[in-house]
Amino acid sequence: MKTLVTGLVIISCFVMSGAASAAFVLGATRVVYQQGDEDVTLSVRNTSSLPYVGQAWVEPYSVDPEGVNDEEPPSFVVTPSLFKLEPGDAKILRFIGIGTSLPTDRESTFWINVQEIPPEAKGKNVVQFAQRIKVKLFYRPDSIVEADPLTALSRLRVSISGDVLKVENPSPFSVSFFRASLLGSDDEAVLPDLRMALPFSSVELRVPEVGTPERFSFDYINDYGGRRAGPDLEVR
């Protein structure tokens, strides 16, 4: 009996996930598609000693990486969507917008999925492990191209009611958090579950006690997948 077990790897920052034992390594941890672009590209390289088949597709963003919204029509196609990579070989994937209606006043976020399909193992009672790698694709409309995404950082509003932290994002850009914490006069509480604030929306999560929180400290992920320090914000 041969069993294929699929694992999920979410790559959100500049650190590539070699520890996850994935055969495929992607050339970027996020992709930005400007309105009017003919396409954007992403490289995939096979770092294993075996030939692998790969499959790629784009789906709407879900806070739960396992969640899929099949009801929304696709906004991007990938070519090639199915490919084979010999050991050490690389392939360029092209992502092409197909003209579906997307908001014109804000970024839209999608998941790029790259699924490994290993060669068939020989022998009985073999368990094979394959990774699916997910990175984000951001669609940026013309109306906000000239705006500075960094302005979104200082416009974040942070408040606490009881044990619930609320981060409001009144900007048209998504803010992806790498690290976040609440700072009191003498202590700090790390917020490991704060991931991303979507445009014109808010995110809430329960927080540990930290005396009287005074500031919200965070690092964010920029367009190139790099980690940068954001401005400390007052907690209201």
Q: Which of 144, 167, 191 is the last residue of a domain?
A: 144
Residue whose structure tokens are 């929180």: 213
Ordered DSSP codes for 205-221: EE----SS--EEEEEEE
Q: Are residues 174 and 76 in the same domain?
A: no
The pLDDT-based confidence of 171 (bands split at 50, 70, 90) is very high
- Residues 20 and 105 both lie in one domain: yes
Shared domain for 79 and 38, answered yes or no, is yes
- Cis peptide bond upstream of 80, omega within 30: yes
Residues of the chain with pLDDT > 70: what percent?
A: 84
Average pLDDT in the chain: 86
Both 162 and 215 in one domain: the answer is: yes
Count up the domains in the chain and report the number.
Answer: 2
Residue 4 has pLDDT above 60, yes or no: no
Whole domain around residue 183: which residue ranges? 151-234
Query: Domain check: are 41 and 139 in the same one?
Result: yes
d(Cα 186, Cα 117) in Å, to the nearest integer?
51
* 87 located within any domain: yes
Asked if residue 1 belongs to a domain, the reply is no
* Alpha carbons 36 and 65: distance in angstroms, whole number: 28
Q: Is it the case that residue 66 has pLDDT exceeding 70?
A: no
Q: Is 2 among the domain residues?
A: no
29 belongs to a structural domain: yes
Alpha carbons 101 and 34: distance in angstroms, whole number = 14
Q: Do 31 and 100 fall within a single domain? A: yes
CA distances from 61 to 93, 95, 207 (A): 19, 16, 25
Q: Are 135 and 177 contained in the same domain?
A: no
Query: Does 3 fall in a domain?
Result: no
Shared-domain flag, residues 134 and 228? no
What does the alpha-carbon distance between residue 131 and residue 115 come to, in Å, rounded to a whole number?
6
Q: Which of 144, 176, 195 is the last residue of a domain?
A: 144
Is 49 a member of any domain? Answer: yes
* pLDDT at site 188: 87
pLDDT at 44 over 90: yes
> 116 and 16, same structural domain?
yes
* 126 vs 74, residue with greater confidence: 74
In a domain, residue 17? The reply is yes
- Which pLDDT does position 1 carry in this prediction? 43
pLDDT-derived band of residue 68, with 50, 70 and 90 as boundaries? low
**Domain ends where: 144, 160, 195?**
144
The tens digit of pLDDT for each residue in 186-210 reads 788 898 888 899 999 999 988 877 6
Q: Is the pLDDT of residue 16 over 70?
A: no
Categorize the per-residue pLDDT at 64 as very low, low, confident or very high, splitting at 50, 70 and 90.
low
67: domain CATH number?
Answer: 2.60.40.10
Global pTM value = 0.85
